[in-house]
Amino acid sequence: MKAAIAVIVVAGAFRLVLAGYTGLGIDESYMVAASHQFAASYFDHPLASWWLELFARAVTGSAAPIVVRLPFVVLSAVSSWLLWAITRRLYDERAAFWAVVAYSLSPVFSLAAGVWVLPDGPLDAALLAFLYALVCALGLPSGVPAPRWWAAVGLFAGLALLSKYNAALVFAGAGLGVLLDPASRRQLRRFGPWGAVLLAAVLFTPVLWWNAKHGWASFHYQGGRATGFRLRPTMPLTILGGEALFLLPWLWLPCMWVFLRGFWRGPAERRGWLLSWAAIVPVVLFALVGLWSSTRILYHWAAPGYLMLFPVLGDWASRFGRRLRNTVAWVTALLLGAAVLFLAAEISTGFIPDLNRVFAPGKSPLLQAADWDSVAGQIPPGIDAVAAQRWFDAGKIGYALRGTKLAVTVFGPEPHEFGFSTPPESLLGKTVLVLAMPGNVTDTHDRFAGDFRAFKPGPVLVVMHQGAVLLVIPTFIGTEMLRAP
């Protein structure tokens, strides 16, 4: 256990460096800028991640990156401990140690979900708590069920649903695993499993209530990701390849091996059977959806499925060739740690001169990793609100203006949460600074000039990073908005 604690502490230290010395990414900036108050739910995702960053801001009075990210860093340590506890229960302490190592070395879990203001951090912690309670309730591996754990199964399932909708995919697979295992199926004759389902549903009711009040906007948006038809026969392989990169290929391959082996062994090996079923829907579904959907499938969507495989992955790693396993782990740790330190150093000091010039104008990745704080002092007096034409631009600008009282909204077809927190119609009669990107300045003028009493060129906003110009944003000043664009 001491070795696992050491891994958790070291990994946590690197996460704190990344959290404190890099700016908020696009999705993070959007979440912080668009969330003005605690609500029953939000447009993109349920309430958990929004409430965490809002709570951090309310307690500290600050929205600095380290502040809004701190709850997610803490949850990553909780997830590591839960993974250790699950794997130790199902296998042994050596397997538990290697499960924690694998989690700490996988960028999608250790860095993305473990640092960033995203729904994946609370989702992972809740899913692992759900899995621990489930194996206890089913009596794995001893075979002696513990019915009192079903209440915890329902509680953590509800918390997972309050984190991200795709938690339901893990539950669907785990439910099938229980149903198809004769020993576990006997538990379905009792009230416990059904009470857990009922408790999870009750906890999820705030999300249903919010959606009912807002035209089921969130469900329409998330469900629409599988719509459209564009036959792409090779896309499932591309998606699986992208997932392998996010997970790390040398972790993804054994994950797939233990995943398939769990089905091959069948319910006679109840541990691997349950974990493989818990993983199957996210791992398979998004690859299949990519076959026909015209929507871009993001590779981290399937991550909860792979997370369910980490206990059996830890068992596999504990019995793998010692020298090769240890070498791979150390090399991966050094590369990942170096990447974190490099990114933190470049964002906080800009030690590589003119790095942004390597990229085309406006295409530097520093635009995502650095905050756009320089624009805050460039807003002219008399402005009531700032309007972007894309939600992610509004997020970066909105976070940069966090110390002001300026409202930020989106004049466009996809405002996301800005459409609820600052709807354009709430700015009638106001003076609005409109960002003239994307597209050209003439397009922006022709599109919005008729919505204002007067619409004239405004100042050029310059996004600076360590003295270098990253982006130049032309603007218009719209005086007395007559109607919502």
Domain positions in the chain are 2-328, 366-481
The residue among 180, 94, 195, 80 whose CA lies nearest residue 137 is 195
State the Cα–Cα distance between residues 145 and 229, nearest whole angstrom.
46
How would you write the pLDDT of the chain (485 residues) with one tens digit per residue?
889 999 999 999 999 999 999 999 999 999 999 998 999 999 999 999 999 999 999 999 999 999 999 999 999 999 999 999 999 999 999 999 999 999 999 999 999 999 999 999 999 999 999 999 999 999 999 889 999 999 999 999 999 999 999 999 999 999 999 999 999 999 999 999 999 999 999 999 999 999 999 999 999 888 776 666 677 788 888 889 999 999 999 999 999 999 999 999 999 999 999 999 999 999 999 888 888 777 777 888 999 999 999 999 999 999 998 999 999 999 999 999 999 999 999 999 988 887 877 887 778 888 899 999 999 999 999 999 999 999 999 999 999 999 888 999 999 999 999 999 999 999 999 999 999 987 789 999 999 999 999 999 999 999 999 888 899 999 999 999 999 99
The per-residue pLDDT for range 98-148, each reduced to its tens digit, is 999 999 999 999 999 999 999 999 999 999 999 999 999 999 998 899 999
Which residues touch 364 (CB under 8 Å, ≥6 apart)? 355, 356, 358, 470
pLDDT at 265: 96
Tokens of 382: 């008399």
- How far from chain centre, in Å, is Cα 324? 32
Q: CA dist 456 to 307, 319, 432, Å? A: 53, 69, 11
Q: How far is CA 124 from CA 83, 376, 380, 471, in A?
A: 10, 35, 43, 35
pLDDT digits (tens, 9 = 90+) for 188-233: 999 999 999 999 999 999 999 999 999 999 998 887 766 666 777 8
Task: Locate 92 and state its tokens.
Answer: 């042994």
Rounded Cα gap, residues 283 and 297, in angstroms: 12
**Across the beta sheet with 432-435, what order do the strands follow?**
407-410, 385-388, 432-435, 475-481, 452-457
DSSP 139-179: TTTTT---GGGHHHHHHHHHHHHTT-TTHHHHHHHHHHHHH
